[in-house]
């Protein structure tokens, strides 16, 4: 055996990240397949266990088995831990454990953390991990306390506290898993502003990203926000308002959604229906009962998703922002993409267009596969499920509960790609960055 063969292959940061998610998903699937995890104390079909584990780690919320009724308390705790691990990133937990044990955080660990948390630099990453975990515990605890005011009186002390913790974690991590049974999500709480507004706040905070949250926290001291935070905040607010207004007016007379509600509840549920595609997966009105226009608006919101470096999925609001500001700059005859007195590099713009292209192609391919494997379903519903899986949202029109094995595998892969990032997975597989030293003559082509 040659010396070259005896050397261990060196894995890049993106490869370790991609493999790490696979390992966590696999462990979760094995645990969920055991009899102790099901309410009837029987082995669970491994494909359904794998689907649930993938959905939890990828903080999606799509399920083939009803979370509230099928799983035992052990199974529900496993799902909750998988959601937390997937939402914050397994590297955050690894580093936190290493800090507790007094182990040194190596440069390679920092590089993997940088890739996992999508930050600009490796400086201050260990401090950032401590902040993330502390911030997460505080926000989730506050959310659980607010939810407990409603759940304890409904379910009793023990169950009420567990439900409060579970749903606070699920909302903050933008997972969308619920324990209310029969795939009802939060429909029974459509008139409860405390539950809906608490869940909404957790979704928004989790979807902003830890970098943005830290800058907001330090704003009084620094009196400034980075261009990244400004774009995240402006576009997040704009999309929530945009979604709220459209859903409110489109679904206003629809008796299957907002039509039968009083004005206050219409406003509350239209707001929630705009927030949850950011990418949480809870619903307080019937998603299947929405009009075609309502479903399409939801698909757009799901596709855009939340912020980079957050618990949310999707294309990301920052990527959408770069694309939007590039369009505005081109229409205004500018050479560079400019906003807030700053310009973006060509590399950033190219990456944004690459991500848009890959995301669009992936959703279209998945939709085509689903139209073949699930021919009885409406096209809009299949596009809805494909987008929900890619953007790790978890909203469903009811299709996922009845799909076949091929469709399940397709959505498992889609959820994984959506959480880890299609570009990250491609880089993990290719693992090459070529610098072309040649500069070819300019070619001319007609556009438009």
Q: To the nearest whole percent, how much of the chain has pLDDT over 70?
A: 81
pLDDT tens-digit series, residues 218-258: 887 777 888 888 899 999 999 999 999 999 999 999 999 99
Q: pTM (2 decimals)?
A: 0.87
User: Does the structure show a pLDDT above 60 at 404?
Assistant: yes
Q: Count Cα atoms within 13 angstroms, Cβ side, for 304.
A: 25
What integer is the mean pLDDT of 340-353?
86
Q: Computed from CA positions of residues 61, 65, 68, 73, in that sequence, does the dihedral angle turn out positive or negative?
A: negative
The answer to the question of residue 3 being in a domain is no
182: left (phi over 0), alpha (psi -120 to 50) or beta: left
Strand partners, 339: 342
pLDDT score for 2:
41
pLDDT score for 123:
56
pLDDT tens-digit series, residues 352-400: 898 899 999 999 999 999 999 999 999 999 999 999 999 989 899 999 9
3-state helix, strand, coil in the chain (%, to 5): 65, 0, 30
Q: Cβ contacts of residue 382 below 8 Å, gap of 6+?
A: 367, 370, 371, 374, 399
CA geometry: angle at 97 spanning 91 and 103, to 5°? 100
Strands 337-339 and 342-344: antiparallel
Q: Cβ contacts of residue 389 below 8 Å, gap of 6+?
A: 60, 62, 366, 411, 414, 415, 418
Number of residues that this document lists for the chain: 448
User: Does the structure show a pLDDT above 90 at 299?
Assistant: yes
pLDDT tens-digit series, residues 193-228: 999 999 999 999 988 887 788 888 888 777 788 888
Measured between alpha carbons, how far is 28 from 48 in angstroms, rounded to an integer?
Answer: 12
The answer to the question of residue 130 being in a domain is yes
| Confidence category of residue 1, pLDDT binned at 50, 70, 90 | very low
Q: Which two tokens stand for residue 290?
A: 């929405």
Other C-beta atoms closer than 10 Å to the C-beta of 46 total 13
Residue 40 DSSP symbol: T
User: Does the structure show a pLDDT above 70 at 34?
Assistant: yes
The answer to the question of residue 101 being in a domain is yes
Residue 65 DSSP symbol: S
Write out the H or E segment, with its range, that includes residue 96.
helix 90-100
User: Does the structure show a pLDDT above 60 at 113?
Assistant: no
Q: Cβ contacts of residue 204 below 8 Å, gap of 6+?
A: 236, 240, 275, 278
Q: Which two tokens stand for residue 99?
A: 């800090």
Residue 343 DSSP symbol: E
Most confident among 115-119, 197-201, 229-233, 414-418 (mean pLDDT)? 197-201
Q: How far is CA 143 from the centre of its chain?
A: 19
The answer to the question of residue 40 being in a domain is yes
The answer to the question of residue 31 being in a domain is yes
Residue 311 DSSP symbol: S
pLDDT score for 281:
86
Q: Say which range, 86-95, 250-259, 411-420, has the weakest mean pLDDT.
A: 86-95
Nearest CA-CA partner of 229 in 202, 211, 251, 244: 211
What integer is the mean pLDDT of 155-177?
94
Total count of domains within the chain: 1
Residue bearing tokens 């050479």 = 335
The answer to the question of residue 313 being in a domain is yes
Range of the domain at 127: 11-426
What integer is the mean pLDDT of 149-178?
94
Cβ neighbourhood burial of 297 (10 Å; 0-12, 13-18, 19+)? buried
Q: To the nearest whole percent, how much of the chain has pLDDT over 90?
A: 55
The answer to the question of residue 443 being in a domain is no
pLDDT score for 294:
95
pLDDT score for 6:
42
Q: Which two tokens stand for residue 399?
A: 């299709």
Other C-beta atoms closer than 10 Å to the C-beta of 237 total 11
The answer to the question of residue 431 being in a domain is no
Residue bearing the bigger pLDDT, 117 or 253: 253
Q: Which two tokens stand for residue 37?
A: 């995890």
User: Does the structure show a pLDDT above 80 at 260?
Assistant: yes
Answer for the pair 211, 261: CB distance below 8 angstroms, yes or no: no
| Confidence category of residue 3, pLDDT binned at 50, 70, 90 | very low
Mean pLDDT rounded to a whole number for the chain:
85
Measured between alpha carbons, how far is 303 from 282 in angstroms, rounded to an integer?
Answer: 16
Answer for the pair 308, 319: CB distance below 8 angstroms, yes or no: yes
């Amino acid at each position: 055996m040659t010396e070259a063969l005896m050397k261990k292959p060196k894995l890049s940061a993106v490869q370790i990240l991609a493999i790490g998610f696979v390992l966590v998903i696999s462990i979760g699937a094995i645990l969920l397949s055991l009899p102790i995890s099901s309410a009837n104390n029987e082995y669970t079909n491994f494909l359904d266990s794998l689907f649930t584990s993938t959905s939890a780690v990828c903080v999606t919320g799509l399920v083939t088995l009803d979370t509230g009724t099928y799983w035992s308390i052990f199974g529900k705790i496993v799902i909750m831990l998988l959601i937390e691990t997937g939402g914050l990133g397994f590297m955050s937990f690894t580093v936190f454990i290493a800090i507790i044990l007094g182990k040194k955080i190596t440069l390679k660990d920092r590089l993997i953390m940088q890739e996992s948390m999508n930050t600009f630099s490796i400086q201050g990453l260990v401090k950032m991990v401590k902040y993330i975990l502390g911030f997460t515990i505080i926000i989730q605890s506050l959310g659980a306390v607010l939810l407990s005011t409603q759940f304890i009186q409904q379910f009793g002390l023990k169950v009420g506290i567990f439900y409060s913790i579970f749903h606070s974690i699920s909302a903050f991590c933008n997972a969308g898993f619920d324990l209310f049974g029969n795939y009802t999500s939060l429909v029974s709480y459509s008139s409860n502003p405390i539950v809906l507004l608490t869940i909404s706040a957790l979704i928004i905070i989790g979807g902003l990203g830890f970098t943005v949250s830290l800058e907001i926290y330090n704003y009084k001291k620094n009196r400034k926000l980075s261009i990244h935070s400004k774009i995240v905040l402006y576009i997040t607010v704009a999309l929530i308002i945009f979604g709220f207004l459209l859903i409110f007016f489109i679904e206003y007379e629809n008796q299957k959604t907002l039509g039968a509600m009083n004005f206050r509840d219409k406003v509350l549920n239209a707001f929630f229906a705009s927030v949850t595609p950011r990418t949480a997966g809870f619903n307080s009105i019937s998603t299947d009962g929405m009009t075609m226009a309502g479903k399409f608006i939801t698909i757009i919101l799901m596709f855009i998703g939340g912020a980079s470096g957050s618990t949310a999925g999707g294309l990301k609001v920052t990527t959408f922002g770069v694309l939007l500001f590039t369009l505005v700059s081109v229409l205004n005859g500018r050479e560079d993409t400019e906003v807030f007195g700053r310009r973006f590099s060509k590399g950033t713009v190219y990456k944004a267009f690459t991500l848009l292209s890959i995301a669009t192609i992936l959703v279209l391919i998945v939709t085509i596969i689903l139209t073949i494997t699930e021919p009885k379903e409406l096209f809009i519903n299949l596009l809805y499920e494909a987008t929900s899986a890619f953007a790790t949202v978890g909203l469903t029109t009811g299709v996922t509960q009845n799909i076949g094995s091929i469709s399940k595998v397709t959505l498992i892969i889609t959820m994984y790609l959506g959480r880890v990032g299609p570009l990250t997975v491609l880089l993990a597989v290719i693992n090459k960055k070529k610098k072309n030293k040649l500069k070819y003559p300019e070619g001319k082509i007609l556009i438009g």
